[in-house]
A and B are shown apart, each in its own frame.
Chain A
């Protein structure tokens, strides 16, 4: 993977308006678009009209826009969504209609339902329709069934290390794809493993603390609900290597609903699925596909648009459903 040159810039010491940022993140679920500029947080209601007429403040020079999608589960065919291909196509269409086409898409895993070759092929075919230049992947537990991830790695992990981890740079930010769905132990949670942790520590060692970091992995890297496997046992270790950085964003999937947390300089975010929702933590027997009324399905599936302005601690994270 070709690495862009690091941009050395005179970064402002913006204080991040944390209270405002948290308030804005609470609105994001209803479609608010938040931008931090020069330390000041501004939010914009994300109505259809605003998107269509492009009246939102868009790409200033040096802005990077990318999109996170997750949990497409191609091959799933149960009542919760009999047409996961259709809803993924809707998500792609939505991405393609964004005023600023994303530089790339991050897919945070559970790309397929059963790791079958035809399911991987189907996803690759559908994603050809995206306007984004490329798609980066990390696998979910559904992508590494029966073959220890060989099928996944052959298709979506060329040039990666170990079970499929890697990093790349874009617009001065450092992106890290981690794999936490391999070698899961009985009674355990997601797992990164010592090889990957050693690689991570080495990978960020020489970066300036002002480099914005974006980490993406399938299972959440914070403890949301261990009883349902919503957490990663050795995530603390990984995050300890990132504590010194001024801006760290962690993007995850797996739980099929949006959740956010801010801890110091680290912002955690989980995305909706493009296939089916899951229940809120602890509601019901387990983290299985949750059936909603057919008319309601599109309102619980969606994408995440992320806008990053180079040279500042700025990251606007916007979740929007397939309905909006």
Chain B
């Protein structure tokens, strides 16, 4: 009995850090997935900030208008097009194709910017030992 309990205790002692490690890996994976998924661009002072953004395929970009003037977000190749955004309005678009997307504000066309969407990473996660 004693050795059985001892065995269970040892197993438990080993399990806890594994669980914690797994949780940490999952959280890290989720975190990196989230930060890859949502990129924020502020429309401020008649400019898109940042003016050049690079994201991986699958990323979601969210624009928020912080000016007191309405603005729009319009890609020159018509891939995406927002309605007029008043102050604090947002527009979101998820990029499922790699490429370079030039866009501008159709109300104030001198406001131009660019999003570069990179192809997916060819390296899967090594820590699972799969390749």
- A contact set with B: CB distance below 8 Å: 78-80, 113-115, 141-142, 145-146, 184-189, 226-229, 285-289
Contacts and interface: CB of A to CB of B under 8 A. Distances in A.
Nearest to A181: B107
Contacts of A188: 109-110
B93 interface: no
Given A229-B108, A285-B45, A186 B76 contact: yes
Contact of A145 (B45, B68, B84, B104): B84
Interface string B65-79: 001111010101000
A114 B86 CA distance: 8
Nearest to B72: A145
B91 interface: no
B106 A184 contact: yes
A115 B84 contact: yes
Nearest to A229: B110
A142 B84 CA distance: 9
Main secondary structure of the interface of B (DSSP, over half): loop
A146 B84 contact: yes
A228 B84 CA distance: 19
Given A114-B86, A145-B107, A286-B45, A187 B112 contact: yes
Contacts of B112: 186-187
A79 B110 CA distance: 25
B109 A78 contact: no
A285 B46 CA distance: 7
A189 B109 contact: yes
Contacts of A227: 110
A184 B109 contact: yes
Given A184-B106, A184-B109, A287-B46, A80 B68 contact: yes
Nearest to A76: B68
Contacts of A80: 68
Contacts of A141: 107-108
Given A78-B68, A114-B84, A186-B104, 18 more contacts: A78-B87, A113-B70, A114-B70, A142-B70, A145-B72, A145-B83, A146-B84, A184-B109, A185-B109, A186-B74, A186-B103, A189-B110, A228-B46, A228-B110, A229-B108, A285-B46, A288-B67, A288-B68
Nearest to B69: A288
Interface in B76-124: 76, 83-84, 86-87, 102-104, 106-110, 112
A186 B102 contact: yes
A105 to B, nearest CB: 25
Contacts of A287: 46, 108
A227 B106 CA distance: 15
